[in-house]
Amino acid sequence: MKLLRVGRPGQEKPALLDRDGKLRDLSAHVQDIAGAALLPDSLDRLRRLDTATLPELPAASRVGACVGAVGKIVCVGLNYSDHAAESGMAVPTEPVLFLKPSSSICGPFDDVEIPRGAEKTDWEVELGVVIGKAAKYVPEESALEHVAGYCIVNDVSERAFQLERGGTWDKGKGHDSFAPTGPWLVTADEVEDPQALSMWLEVDGRRFQDGSTRTMIFGVAHLVSYISRFMSLQPGDIISTGTPPGVGLGQKPPLYLRAGQTMRLGIQGLGEQRQRTVAA
């Protein structure tokens, strides 16, 4: 299934994208694409629905983030060796973790703000892993049983805030609109292998990132298991699994976003995002 949320910010309705590309209203069946609605039994109930009987929503509806009421976004830094190299950092021996606040989440086609005082705002296409069943100390061999599905996350980053202002990376990762998410949550049964998905990102029509999840240092199952040793993962939490090379920081010379540009990005089977950059 392709699940999504449509409507004005803060007023999104749960929806499903049917096989004909029509938006179908799920409001009579779940309150939101969030929390308990992502449990395996709930997803099974949604799969059994006759989608043709669901009310159709306007095709031009705004698409919000595909998951609502997200408790936390756990991000994995430097999870592609060639991205670590372009960033001038050592390849990690264990996953590097940091958090993005839920307030940074926005829709996949919403504007992205360039923060006040920003100097080095950057792009990062990433595979998002949405938790569907609580995970705590889970073994790697059963970790994927805790995954509801997958989505696209653009881990927008302000590098000067992240790397030059002291402290942890979070300062450069948490601005409003720094986590466009969606357009769809594609349920795990429709993603045959999360480690074999092509991914790309363009700025103003120029392709900068062109990679694949197969080159991750730490795969999805390992990440779910590893993170669950340090914090419990709850339904609706998102793991953003790292980015392939081609970010602005790695260009020679470095190249960063400015207001008035357009980002387009996609992951195989998970749809595409498009954002315009604006001044905060």
List the one residue out of 149, 172, 177 whose CA is nearest residue 239.
149
* Residue 87 pLDDT greater than 90, yes or no: no
What pLDDT sits at residue 270?
A: 98
* Residue 91 pLDDT greater than 90, yes or no: no
Average of per-residue pLDDT values in the chain:
97
Question: What is the pTM assigned to this prediction?
Answer: 0.97
Q: If pLDDT is split at 50, 70 and 90, which confidence band does 107 have?
A: very high
Dump pLDDT digits (tens) for 117-157.
999 999 999 999 999 999 999 999 999 999 999 999 999 99
* Residue 251 pLDDT greater than 90, yes or no: yes
- The CATH superfamily holding the domain 73-279 is Fumarylacetoacetase-like, C-terminal domain (3.90.850.10)
Instruction: Please state the domain extents for the chain.
Output: 2-57, 73-279
Non-local (6+) Cβ contacts of 142 within 8 A are none
Percentage helix, strand, coil for the chain under 3-state DSSP, each rounded to 5: 20, 30, 45
What pLDDT sits at residue 244?
A: 96
* Average pLDDT rounded to a whole number, residues 232-256: 97
List the one residue out of 143, 141, 103 whose CA is nearest residue 9.
103
* Alpha-carbon distances, residue 262 vs 171, 173, 276 (angstroms): 23, 19, 4
Strand ranges inside 132-237, DSSP E: 147-154, 157-158, 179-180, 185-187, 198-203, 206-212
Distance in angstroms (rounded) separating the CA atoms of residues 147 and 236: 10
Dump pLDDT digits (tens) for 216-227.
999 999 999 999
**Are 195 and 102 within 8 A, CB to CB?**
no
What pLDDT sits at residue 85?
A: 83
Q: What proportion of the chain, given as a percentage, has pLDDT over 90? A: 95
